[in-house]
Structure 1
Amino acid sequence: MIHLRNGDYGLVEIKLGGDKLIEIGSETLKDLASIIDIKNMSNPSFMMVLCAKASFAYKRDDDVYVIPITALRH
């Protein structure tokens, strides 16, 4: 979980990569988001699979972002 300065938060799953592992990571994130008590917390602002083996960053149809670790440099 990443907490943002404005109080929002996002869920992050780290995987080495490959389509199967990215799919598993996405399912884990969606499962976790589904058990958050939204009466006491807001929904996550984003869900992201951070991986080593992705050629580029993209957003999946299920609203999970897939981000290669190389995209996090400053």
Structure 2
Amino acid sequence: MAPTVSIRADPSLAAAQLGRGPEALVRDWQAFGTMFENLCIRDLLVYAQALPDIGFEPIRYYRDDSGLEADAIIELADGRWAAFEVKVGEEGVPAAASNLKRLRGKLRGNPKARVREPEFMAVITGLSHYAREVGEGIYSIPIRALAP
């Protein structure tokens, strides 16, 4: 599997460079999903940089040898952290929430790592209408709710 690349710029620049307008992106869900994920990561980066005690690399991608991944992890210098998955539609939320739960279990299951409980975990969606808890401290949050 190819590594995930996140470009921290406005994804509309990539769409314009590819000559893709809204109609073309709606027909190409793979490109749309990639650009939507980059939009979410860029927005998270803006908010993360405003946090106190944020490190040099505010947002990191997680993937291990078993294929477990998280689209974004934000960790503060004091060890507090949050994890995010990005999905365009609601239908991807259950699998993403299950993935986040596995991630929490794996990171917390290693006593030598001394990883604390996450502050929260969330699935950021594009087509949802409201934020809600989907279970066990994991939230589904529409991108439009990420506002100052």
**TM bucket normalised to smaller:** 0.7 to 0.9
Secondary structure, aligned partner of 1:35: helix
Code of the residue aligned with 1:23 in structure 2: it is P
Identity of aligned residues (%): 29
Code of the residue aligned with 1:33 in structure 2: it is R
Aligned residue pairs total: 73
Higher relative contact order (CA 8 A, sep 6+): 1
- For normalisation by structure 2, the TM-score amounts to 0.45
User: What runs of 5+ residues in structure 1 fail to find an aligned partner?
Assistant: none
- For normalisation by structure 1, the TM-score amounts to 0.84
For 2:139 and 2:129, the matched residues in 1 are separated by 13
Q: Note the alpha carbon deviations across 1:30-58, whole angstroms, 9 max, x for none.
A: 01111003542101111100010110111
User: What runs of 5+ residues in structure 2 fail to find an aligned partner?
Assistant: 1-72
- What is the root-mean-square deviation of aligned Cα atoms in Å? 1.6
Poorly superposed stretches of 4+, deviation over 6 Å: none
Code of the residue aligned with 1:26 in structure 2: it is A
Higher strand share: 1
Higher helix share: 2
| Corresponding residue number in structure 2 for 1:23 | 94
- Choose the corresponding residue for 2:121, options 13, 28, 47: 47
